[in-house]
C-alpha cells in the first residue's frame, strides 16, 4: 500500500486594501474615498482580465485594472485571484483637508498569499475669529490706544487684550480653532479699568458666543454673535 500525493499549482494571490480615517467630525466621519487599483504584468502591460472583489460591508463584483472601489473608514476590499507576479499600484483621489499615508500601496502578487495595502487618511480643519467691540468717549477726542479691553473664556482665563483705534474700533487678535473645537464657545468682553484721573470706565460685561462648524474641506465656519449680560442680542459690544 502507499499514498498518492497530488500537488496543485495555484498561481494566484489576493490583494487586500484597508481604509482608515481619523480626525473627521460629524457627517464627514462616514465619507467614502475612491480607491484606484492598477494592475500590470512584468513587462508593464495593463492586465485586462477581470478579477472578483468583495468588501467588508457586503459588496461584491468584478474588477478590472484602473477601476475604483469606494471605501469608508475601517472598511476593506479584497481583490481575489490576481495572477502571480502581477504588480499592483493603489492610489486615491484624496479630498481637500485630508492627508494620505499608505503602506503597501505598490508590490507584486505572490501565489497563494495575500498582499496587504493600508491607507490612512488624516483630516485637519482650521478656522479663526477676531472678536470686536466699539469705544466712545464723551467730553474730548478719543485717542488711539487710549483704552484697553480683554476677552476671557468661560473659565475666566485671559485670552486676548486689545486697545481702541482712533475711530473707536476694537479688534482682538485671532482666536484659532481646529475640528476638535466644533460646537459653541462663550467668551466675556470687558473694558479694563485703570487709574486715569478724570475718566470713568464702562464696567458692563458683554458675551460673545462663537459657533464653530466643519465645512468638510479643511476649513471651519466660525460665526460670532454678541449679547448683553442678560442675554439680549447686540450688534457689537459698545463701551462708553
pLDDT confidence tier of residue 54, bands split at 50, 70 and 90:
very high
Q: What is the pTM of this model?
A: 0.81
β-strand pairing of 169-171 with 114-123: unpaired
pLDDT value of position 4: 73
Query: Cell triple for residue 159?
Result: 485670552
pLDDT value of position 80: 96
SS3 content of the chain, % helix, strand, coil (to 5): 5, 50, 45
Mean pLDDT of 26-40: 92
pLDDT value of position 1: 55
Q: Looking at 56-153, which runs of residues are DSSP E strands?
A: 60-63, 68-72, 76-83, 87-92, 98-103, 106-108, 114-123, 126-129, 132-135, 148-152
Question: Position of cell 458675551?
Answer: 207
pLDDT digits (tens, 9 = 90+) for 119-150: 999 999 999 999 999 999 999 999 999 999 99
What is the residue-averaged pLDDT of the chain?
94
pLDDT digits (tens, 9 = 90+) for 156-204: 999 999 999 999 999 999 999 999 999 999 999 999 999 888 899 999 9
What are the residues facing 207 on neighbouring strands?
A: 188, 227
pLDDT value of position 29: 85
pLDDT of 30 strictly over 80: yes
pLDDT digits (tens, 9 = 90+) for 86-128: 999 999 989 999 999 999 999 999 999 999 999 999 999 999 9
pLDDT of 5 strictly over 90: no
Amino acid at each position: 500500500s502507499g499514498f498518492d500525493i497530488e500537488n496543485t499549482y495555484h498561481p494566484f494571490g489576493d490583494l487586500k486594501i484597508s481604509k482608515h480615517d481619523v480626525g473627521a467630525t460629524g457627517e464627514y466621519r462616514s465619507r467614502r474615498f475612491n480607491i484606484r487599483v492598477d494592475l500590470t504584468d512584468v513587462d508593464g502591460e495593463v492586465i485586462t482580465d477581470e478579477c472578483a472583489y468583495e468588501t467588508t460591508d457586503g459588496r461584491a463584483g468584478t474588477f478590472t485594472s484602473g477601476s475604483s472601489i469606494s471605501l469608508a473608514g475601517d472598511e476593506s476590499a479584497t481583490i481575489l485571484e490576481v495572477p502571480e507576479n502581477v504588480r499592483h499600484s493603489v492610489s486615491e483621489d484624496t479630498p481637500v483637508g485630508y492627508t494620505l499615508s499608505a503602506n503597501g500601496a505598490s508590490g507584486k502578487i505572490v501565489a497563494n498569499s495575500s498582499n496587504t495595502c493600508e491607507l490612512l487618511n488624516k483630516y485637519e480643519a482650521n478656522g479663526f475669529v477676531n472678536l470686536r467691540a466699539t469705544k466712545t468717549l464723551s467730553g474730548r477726542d478719543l485717542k488711539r490706544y487710549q483704552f484697553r479691553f480683554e476677552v476671557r473664556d468661560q473659565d475666566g482665563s485671559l485670552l486676548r487684550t486689545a486697545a481702541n483705534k482712533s475711530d473707536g474700533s476694537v479688534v482682538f487678535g485671532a482666536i484659532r480653532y481646529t475640528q476638535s473645537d466644533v460646537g459653541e464657545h462663550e467668551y466675556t468682553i470687558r473694558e479694563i479699568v485703570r487709574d486715569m484721573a478724570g475718566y470713568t470706565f464702562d464696567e458692563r460685561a458683554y458675551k460673545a458666543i462663537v459657533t464653530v462648524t466643519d465645512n468638510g474641506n479643511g476649513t471651519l465656519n466660525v460665526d460670532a454673535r454678541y449679547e448683553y449680560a442678560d442675554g439680549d442680542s447686540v450688534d457689537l459690544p459698545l463701551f462708553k
